[in-house]
Amino acid sequence: MRGPGRDAGSGLRRRGRAWVELLRLPALLTVPGDALAGAAVTGSRPTRGTFLAVGASVSLYAAGMALNDWADRDEDARDRPHRPLPSGRIRPAHALAAAGALTGAGLALACRAGRTTGAVATALAATVWAYDLRLKGTAAGPPAMGTARALDLLMGAAATRPAGAPGPLPQALTAAATLAAHTTAVTTVSRNETQGGSVTGPLTALATGTAIAAALLAPRARDVRWARGEGRGASGGVNPRAAGDGLPSPHIEAGMGMGAALSTKAAPRLLRGRRDNPAGPLAQRPQATSPAPITLTLPVTAYATTALRPLFHAALNPSPPLTQRAVGAGIRALVPLQSALAARSGAPVTALATLALAPLARHFAKKVSVT
């Protein structure tokens, strides 16, 4: 015979699981890497502002999940009656209240990180609410989701950059555009996850993911210039125009660690070595054809195997189960993608820490739906 205490405990567990399903715990694990990758592309170590941005990102993403189910409650009653709202485990009013509270918490955390971070978070929150309430069923829906992910990364970059630094770094915009392209493609596939039948979305997403993986492993233009000797000035010194653009090279990451660069103190010693020995330190810079370090190839491989194989299967047979599997895998593939962006930006420790979230997301995805 069960006592009242055991019944109360069982009820709490059921309500807790309902909220875990509503907020998509496995999908929440794909969020911290946005801000961490944004911090990496600034060339700085994660700061207090970075972790405030992580908290803001998680809060705003969770708000979007709650708002999504509130907005879709009638559709879910028909197509997904097992979800928390149509099944009656969570009241619609409670889900809407949670969305509002989580949005407020996310904006408060972002504002603590700085004025610019707060402004980016406000744009992100507006994009999330616009997507859930207006844009989801329109042609603007997938780009809106891509924009949200891009803003999430830029929020991490804004929170980490030193005060008074100029506008967005080109490499931050490039990394944000990469996340946006992946997210837009996966969101396009998700529009047919309950009915299936379309091969266009999976094929497009497959091509996008393949292009992203290839671009992450490709030598940077700066590496090519160094291999041609264009990265050095006429006297053998560093040519700022050739050395200062784009994300740090993966080859530089391997040899120099997190965000390392030539300091003003180290440069004269290197230049003296160059004059004393034409085959000095600068002449030993790796060529553009050298292999990428393991801290980059590991997450890129994980990204390709996580995202591309399910998309290939969905393209061959666009049934609802295979399409849903491809969407879930595409969401989880954001973790190794964020890790790869951090590694390519010269932050191997951040890259590996982010990649460690991938097995957790995969584990919880077996218990709670990602979509």
3-state secondary structure 223-288: HHHHHHCCCECCCCCECHHHHCCCCCCHHHHHHHCCCCCCCCCHHHHHHHHHHHCCCCHHHHCCCC
**Which of these ranges, 71-80, 135-144, 226-235, 265-274, has the smallest mean pLDDT?**
265-274
pLDDT of residue 338 exceeding 60, the answer is: yes
Burial of 341-357, coded b for 16+ CB within 10 Å and e otherwise, reads bbbbbbbbbbbbbbbeb
Yes or no: say if 368 and 24 are a contact pair by the CB < 8 Å rule. Answer: yes
pLDDT at site 291: 54
Alpha helices in 317-356 (DSSP H): 320-332, 334-344, 348-355
CA distance 217 to 298: 11
pLDDT grade, residue 292 (50/70/90)?
Answer: low
3-state DSSP assignment of residue 295: helix
Q: Which residue has the higher pLDDT, 15 or 205?
A: 205
CA distance 256 to 276: 23
pLDDT of 29-79, one tens digit each? Answer: 999 999 999 999 999 899 999 999 999 999 999 999 999 999 999 999 998
Helix axes of 141-160 and 92-113: crossing angle, nearest 10 degrees: 40
**Which of these ranges, 90-104, 200-214, 354-368, has the smallest mean pLDDT?**
354-368
User: What would the mean pLDDT of 103-108 be, rounded to a whole number?
Assistant: 98
pLDDT of residue 371 exceeding 70, the answer is: yes
User: What would the mean pLDDT of 195-200 be, rounded to a whole number?
Assistant: 83
What's the mean per-residue pLDDT of the chain? 82
CA distance 371 to 365: 10
Burial of 267-292, coded b for 16+ CB within 10 Å and e otherwise, reads eeeebebbeeeeeeebeebbebeeeb
Global confidence as pTM: 0.80
Yes or no: say if 275 and 247 are a contact pair by the CB < 8 Å rule. Answer: no
CA distance 188 to 201: 6
pLDDT of 140-176, one tens digit each? Answer: 999 999 999 999 999 999 999 876 676 667 889 999 9
pLDDT of residue 27 exceeding 50, the answer is: yes
pLDDT at site 170: 80
User: What would the mean pLDDT of 283-308 be, rounded to a whole number?
Assistant: 75
